[in-house]
Amino acid sequence: MSNRTTPADAARYEAIRQIGCLACRKRGLDSPAEVHHLNLGGHAGMKRRGNEFTIGLCAHHHRDDPGPSSRRTMEQIYGPSLAGASKRFRAEFGSDAELLALQNELIGDC
């Protein structure tokens, strides 16, 4: 697996950004997305699975970034973040496999 971004990777990342955050989408909200690379074992710090194993998450859901709001307010509105509460995030929004399947379906609809 190469760390190089191919034209196919770039196209995937652009589609992910256009679709927006999957977790927000599941709550009926629309938020810009950052590209999140899924890891082996689903734990931070583990090896990335590859560029095709990517999903879109907003800054809150991806990095637990509350922006100008408090974390408590963000969680009340947007739900748990993957970085701050991964078990609760997956319980509400789905497993890595479920989110990846949804992302791939939405990219296919673009």
User: From CA 18, how far away is CA 33, in angstroms rounded?
Assistant: 8
pLDDT tens string 31-79: 999 999 999 876 667 788 889 999 999 999 999 999 989 999 999 999 9
Beta strands in 48-110 (DSSP E): 54-57
Its pTM stands at: 0.90
Fill in the DSSP letter of residue 52: T
